[in-house]
Amino acid sequence: MSVLDEVIAANKEYTTTFGEKAKLAMPPARHFAILTCMDARLDPAKYAGLAEGDAHVIRNAGGRATDDAIRSLVISYKLLGTKEWFVIHHSNCGMEFFTNELMGSLLSSSLETAELGEDGFRDVGEGPGSTEGKYINWHTIADQATSVVEDVTRIKSHALVPASIPVYGFIYDVSTGSLIEVPKATEVGQAR
pLDDT, position 149: 98
User: Does residue 47 sit in the same domain as residue 118?
Assistant: no
User: Does residue 65 sit in the same domain as residue 127?
Assistant: no
User: Does residue 76 sit in the same domain as residue 156?
Assistant: yes
Cα gap 32→85, rounded to integer Å: 6
User: Does residue 9 sit in the same domain as residue 76?
Assistant: yes
Is it the case that residue 64 has pLDDT exceeding 70? yes
User: Does residue 65 sit in the same domain as residue 148?
Assistant: yes
pLDDT, position 119: 85
User: Does residue 42 sit in the same domain as residue 8?
Assistant: yes
- Give the range of the structural domain holding residue 105, as residue numbers without chain letter: 99-137
pLDDT, position 120: 85
Mode of pairing for the β-strands spanning 120-122 and 55-60: unpaired
User: Does residue 61 sit in the same domain as residue 106?
Assistant: no
33 and 57 Cβ atoms separated by less than 8 Å: yes
User: Does residue 87 sit in the same domain as residue 116?
Assistant: no
Question: What is the tally of structural domains in the chain?
Answer: 2
Closest CA to 158 of 34, 73, 32: 73
Cα gap 167→184, rounded to integer Å: 11
